[in-house]
Structure 1
Amino acid sequence: MDKFIFLVLLMPIMLVSLLFAKYIFYSRIFQKLKQPAFFSMAVLLFVTHQYFIVSFAINNVGFVCYQYALAIAAYFINKKYGILLMILSAFTVNIYLAANNSTSFWRLVLAVATSLGILLFISIVKKVASRHILAGYYFANFAVNTFIPWLFGTLYPERFYSFTNMLFVALGSCVINVFVGSYTRSVEAEKRKLARIEKREAHDKLTGLYNYNSYSRFIEKLKFEPQQDWLAVMIDVDYFKHVNDTYGHLDGNEALKFFAHGLRDFIEQNITAENRLFRFGGEEFCLLIKDYPSEECLEKLDRFQEILHERPFITEKGHKLIISYSAGMASAKESEQDVLLMIRNADAALYIAKKSGRGRVICPDCHF
């Protein structure tokens, strides 16, 4: 009964605690260190944990078990460190046994060879289960924890490993998998929740486009990037106040969504270059396109203008409303690679488009 409690409950729960402790140390503490210090602290933490696992197991059940549990988890998270920890596992076990006069050089060689075999095994499992990585970890953890103590028992006949012990370790491995799975699912759920919150904060509620806060962050990022050829297009829906005054704000909002979604879909289908579309405010939008010919951009925008004329917006009461827009375009190349100046130039060009009759795209710096 004592072995059952130890192998099925105490050791698995302790191992899960060590796994979570390692994760916290790696992700929140060691990552702040420089590479040599990170490497040294990671190895020291692992050896400390591993030595404790070996000592705890031998002193309570007389044989080594779960000695690869930490290394397997590390391998599925980060292959490079997993390989290192797998080799260290064999050395740590033998360091403890050497301190107790229970090992030899050849046993160490066989232990390292065993670690390499385990590495090959879990690499195959990880590759096969690439689309279901957690299931791959479950299987590798279960198989290695259950059968390696049996192999250990053949190397160390004095450390007897019975079938009952194997069954207990198999159950304990399942307990580890349950805890790790529960934690992983809770972390993934938290990530999805944060992603939804970030998406809400980054997108305009009415149109679903990136909002002005996203625009500000993106422009700030561009200011510190190497010189790149961006195009900025400032877009304004023509006579939108008249739409609201004539049909009401509810229809006005629907018309704005109609325009925004149409523009977004048109850009996705016709402009393959990297781009961002923002609702700048009210009925004004900002389109940023990277490494794209200005003349081609102008042609695409004129084509979207034609599509809007061909497909009018229908109000709640069935009125047909033809939406048009004015736009101003400027490039970073013609704006001294200053993104803020590029935006101001595009805004100035938009002002010219509105003053010269609306329903057109103006690009003063375009040469074609």
Structure 2
Amino acid sequence: MGVVDKFIFLVLLMPIMIVSLLFAKYVFYAKIFQKLKRPVFFLMVVLLFITHQYFIVSFAMNNVGFVCYQYVLAMASYFINKKYGIVLLFLSAFTVNVYLAINNSTNFFRLLLAAVIFLGVLMVVSCIEKVSRKHILIGYAVANILINTSVPWLFATLYPERSYSIGSMFLVAVGSLLINILIGLYTYSVEAESRKIAQIERRESHDKLTDLYNYNAYSRFIEKIKFEPQGDWLTVMIDLDHFKQVNDTYGHLDGNEALKFFSRSLSDFIRQNIIAESRLFRFGGEEFCLLIKDYPAERCFEKMDKFQELLHEKPFFTQDGHKLSLSFSAGLASTKDSEQDVLLMIRNADAALYIAKRSGKGRVVCPDCHF
């Protein structure tokens, strides 16, 4: 093979082909094999990987006379999942020796040394992965260049008939750099797409003014917990008192700021005082809903009463400096006292809120509490 042909093969053809196989491998894993049962999934992964590896080894040996890039796919797996990565690193070494055995180019001594090389590769990749946990792509790039350039040289010591020159090592290093660039670009595009999807999902599930979960998110969450086999839920339906007067007196801008102040205060209070799984939703206007899992109704009542006192101690100030002591009415109900029916619990909490508003506002009503 001429110098130009070797350059094209080692710097362009092999790297692009291997990156294509890498992407194809993960498409198969994510889109097809994940639907299979675990033993069948593992078997299909191994078969696909060995097929790819044998093709890489055969392609390289028949064109440049030495094995190269055989650990690229396995190293990528190792940096994502160590257990799979170790298995695939072993299979990489195994596939090379299967090819050489088929072509009568190996013996027991060479197989033993090849196993030592595999253990050395595993040790090097493991060390690089530990050092670069916060920068996985950089760690993978370093491992890629180091392993891709050194392993063919180690195999050349076992198989002197397979020449591996300094020039070839340089070309493999450049090819490894191209692999790193292509994988980096792919990873960047995937992360950018994931961030974009996450932003869209957040916009669809969060209230723009208060940044709390919105009514759409509430509806989806209720549908989910309706069929949850375990766990008791509490609902606290909350309504700010006299909020229309705030808007009429101070304007909607100050009204919006008051809503943000209340939402932020309630969210912070829940995070700091209620140690349980919870979700806080804004229905719209001045109406809110709090859902808490496996939490005593009596304790929740006490916490909401405490939050009411906190609002009086830390009032809201309008842009003109007017002091507003916000208050709320709330109704509390639980699935434990609602026949384990989530929808009935919500209706009971609504009824309790109505009682709270009719009986003077600024209070929490909990028919299910047993003091």
In the alignment, which of 148, 153, 172 is matched to residue 150 of structure 1?
153
1 CA distance for matches of 2:323 and 2:93? 77
Cα distance per residue 1:266-292 (max 9 Å; x no partner):
222222222111002321100112232
In the alignment, which of 29, 48, 53 is matched to residue 50 of structure 1?
53
How far did residue 18 of structure 1 move? 1.0
How far did residue 233 of structure 1 move? 0.5
Question: Paired residue for 1:240?
Answer: 243
1 CA distance for matches of 2:115 and 2:226? 52
* Runs of at least 5 residues in structure 2 that lack an aligned partner in the other structure: none
The CA RMSD over aligned residues, in Å, is 1.6
TM-score w.r.t. length of structure 1? 0.95
2 CA distance for matches of 1:339 and 1:185? 42
Does 2:273 correspond to 1:275? no
Does 2:77 correspond to 1:70? no
Listed as ranges, the matches of 1:83-232 within 5 Å are 83-232=86-235
Does 2:12 correspond to 1:9? yes
Q: Matched residue of 1:47: which SS? A: helix
Does 2:261 correspond to 1:258? yes
How far did residue 17 of structure 1 move? 1.1
Is the Cα contact below 8 Å between 1:227 and 1:337 reproduced in 2?
no
Is the Cα contact below 8 Å between 2:297 and 2:368 reproduced in 1?
no
2 CA distance for matches of 1:37 and 1:265? 48
1 CA distance for matches of 2:319 and 2:101? 84
2 CA distance for matches of 1:307 and 1:159? 79
TM-score w.r.t. length of structure 2? 0.94
Larger mean Cα displacement after TM superposition, 309-318 or 119-128: 309-318
1 CA distance for matches of 2:26 and 2:49? 11
1 CA distance for matches of 2:124 and 2:264? 50
Give the total of aligned pairs: 368
Larger mean Cα displacement after TM superposition, 220-229 or 18-27: 220-229
Larger mean Cα displacement after TM superposition, 343-352 or 304-313: 304-313
Cα distance per residue 1:19-49 (max 9 Å; x no partner):
1111111111211222233222222221121
Question: Paired residue for 1:331?
Answer: 334
Could you tell me which amino acid in structure 2 is paired with residue 143 of structure 1? Answer: L
In the alignment, which of 289, 292, 295 is matched to residue 298 of structure 2?
295
How far did residue 131 of structure 1 move? 1.4
Could you tell me which amino acid in structure 2 is paired with residue 5 of structure 1? Answer: I
Is the Cα contact below 8 Å between 1:12 and 1:172 reproduced in 2?
yes
Q: Matched residue of 1:359: which SS? A: coil
How far did residue 208 of structure 1 move? 0.8
2 CA distance for matches of 1:233 and 1:284? 11
* Runs of at least 5 residues in structure 1 that lack an aligned partner in the other structure: none
1 CA distance for matches of 2:113 and 2:345? 67
How far did residue 238 of structure 1 move? 1.0
Does 2:353 correspond to 1:350? yes
2 CA distance for matches of 1:113 and 1:29? 35
How far did residue 326 of structure 1 move? 0.3
Moved over 6 A (4+): none
Determine what percentage of the aligned residue pairs are the same residue: 73
Larger mean Cα displacement after TM superposition, 320-329 or 247-256: 247-256
In the alignment, which of 297, 307, 312 is matched to residue 309 of structure 1?
312
Is the Cα contact below 8 Å between 1:91 and 1:108 reproduced in 2?
no
2 CA distance for matches of 1:36 and 1:271? 43
Is the Cα contact below 8 Å between 2:280 and 2:288 reproduced in 1?
yes
2 CA distance for matches of 1:82 and 1:266? 44
How far did residue 60 of structure 1 move? 1.2
